[in-house]
Amino acid sequence: MPDSTVPPTPPVPLSALLAREDLALRRIAGPDDPGTVVHWVHTSEMADPYPYLLGGELLLTAGVHIPEAAGTGTYFDDYVSRIVAAGGAALGFGVAPVHDTVPRALVAACERYGLPLLEVPPQTTFSGVARAVWQLMAQARLSELRRVTEAQQSLTSAASRPDPVPSVLRQLAQRLGGWAVLYGPEGAEIARAGREPGEEAGSALSELAGVVRPADGGPAPTLNPPVLPPPDRPHPTSATDTVSGTHLAAYALGAGHGFVLGVAGPGRAPGDHTIVSVAAVLLSLLTGEQQSGTGAARSSALVRLLLGAAPEDVAPLLGDGRRWVVVHARPDGEGAPDAVAASALGAALGSALVDPAGDVVRVLVPADRAPDPLPGWTLGVSAAVTPKDWPAADTQAARALARARATRAPLLRHGPRPALADLVPTGEAAAHARTLLAPLTAHPALPETLRTWLSLHGSWDRTAVALSVHRNTVRQRIARCAALLETDLDDPDVRMELWFALRHI
């Protein structure tokens, strides 16, 4: 059978389709297997539908292709065997207008080849059957999303308890209806929860954890034959297996610390992988910092900042002599990033100092880990600064992000360099800026709009994108700026002076 292309929607149990009273479908041949599922519906009157099937279909036909003498030869055997060879899930035969009943030879062939055969009554249209399948798929997808969302909320809540690791494992085992275990770098069980599998499955899960554990994270696995990748291939971060009817999976946590999450259950339901992935991210955050001891130092730094300590006094807890960059990141799609997405971004940037604030995620990153563009994110990066200049760097990153979004660049860096502005003392420049821009201070949106508009060479559309407002709003604000400042914004000298001033407020 060719490999089937499985769609991203959940499959529909054939039994659920048969249970629809509005369809009145009736199974008249083939096995009554509760595990039979339908991935999609296809209608065909071809004598050989094999080339047009991907696998998993409920194939619907009215029998137009059946010749008059079909019952005396091998026609039906050939027809059904080709459907089975293509991976078809079931065959639906429409009664009327071509045939008054389902041909007996077709029923017999479906019994021989083990293909479920459904009788579609005259009052049920093929489009109605297809619509019912899509409705059941939508219901299953909604149920899956609700299950994943509820699991994510419960796992996040468990991670905030005083005993976070055991709590996350208990919640994960409950959600999967199985067993969850955390293995340490040396392969020993650190914590476990749920219904423990049999000895054979438990031993296999321990060995599976060895497959995904980094080479320096503990002893080599004892699987025979060995399944480690060759040296020139990336080390796997997850692995699955099935032993004695129990589904097993192992996930490496963190970046080389050697912790591994193992799960075992009676099967793999839709959404299970997503739920386990959420737990793996949380456990990575809970276990990753313990190896280096920096987790406590970062917590101390945050507490001291909240209690009023100066950033330069707190910085030694985060690494002596370091310079930092501030990164502002915004996802390319719609909606605000959640905590899991923000944590994953921080991990990709090599920092746990992450602040998801509305639509933007802010990350404080050591300057020696220069960020690169990341798929799905737009990044604005500040200049490298010492801790006392963190607030200024935060502003730099915000402006760089706005410019990156306006120009559709995946990443833009703030790039200070010696310029004419360096010839003017900072204090005098700031005093001049306050005086020049005083008419705008009563309207906070005006200076930022003017700054963005000037930085984008007077483009209304790009300024609107950068500020997330309508282009007419930009026009109105710029016109208001010109009126309040009593100046001509089309004059390049005026623009230069205003740009100089806006850089010092």
Q: Quote the pLDDT of residue 272.
A: 85
The Cα–Cα gap between 4 and 12 comes to: 16
Looking at the domain assignment, is residue 223 inside a domain?
Answer: yes
Residues 295-304: tens digit of each pLDDT: 556 666 666 6
Tell me the per-residue pLDDT of 323-333, one tens digit each, with 9 for 90 and over. Answer: 889 999 988 87
Let me know whether 122 and 224 are in one domain.
no
Question: Could you tell me if residue 497 is inside a domain?
Answer: yes
476, part of any domain: yes
User: Does pLDDT of 338 surpass 70?
Assistant: no
Burial class (CB in 10 A: 0-12, 13-18, 19+), 487: middle
- 155 found inside a domain: no
Identify the residue with better confidence: 339 or 191: 191
- Say whether both 396 and 333 belong to one domain: yes
Bridge-based pairing of strands 377-381 and 360-366 is unpaired
Give yes or no: residues 282 and 183 share one domain.
Answer: yes
167-171, 478-482, 500-504, range with the lowest pLDDT: 500-504
Spatial contact of 280 and 251, defined as CB atoms under 8 Å apart: yes
The encoded tokens of residue 353 equal: 């100092």
Place of tokens 């500020």: 467
pLDDT score of 502 more than 50: yes
Higher pLDDT, 6 or 141: 141
Give pairs for 139-146: CB < 8 Å, separation 24+. Answer: 140/9, 140/10, 140/11, 140/12, 140/270, 141/9, 141/10, 144/10, 144/270, 144/271, 145/271
- CATH code (residue 390): 3.30.70
Mean pLDDT along residues 67-87 = 91
pLDDT at 220: 37
Residue 145 within any structural domain of the chain:
no
* Residue 377, domain member (yes or no): yes
> What is the number of structural domains in the chain?
5
The closest of 188, 192, 196 to 169, measured between CA atoms, is 192
| Domain CATH code at residue 213 | 3.30.450.30
Q: Model-level pTM?
A: 0.47
In a domain, 206, yes or no: yes
Domain boundary among 413, 448, 474: 413
- Burial of 94 (C-beta count, 10 Å sphere; 0-12/13-18/19+): buried
Note the pLDDT of residue 493: 87
* Domain co-membership, 277 together with 180: yes
Task: Examine the domain organization and report whether 170 and 107 are in the same domain.
Answer: no
pLDDT tens digits for range 174-211: 998 899 998 887 788 888 898 888 888 888 888 888 88
Do 170 and 216 lie in one domain? The reply is yes
Cα(87)–Cα(3) distance, integer angstroms = 9
Same domain, 241 and 256: yes
Range of the domain at 245: 160-288
* In a shared domain, residues 462 and 425: yes
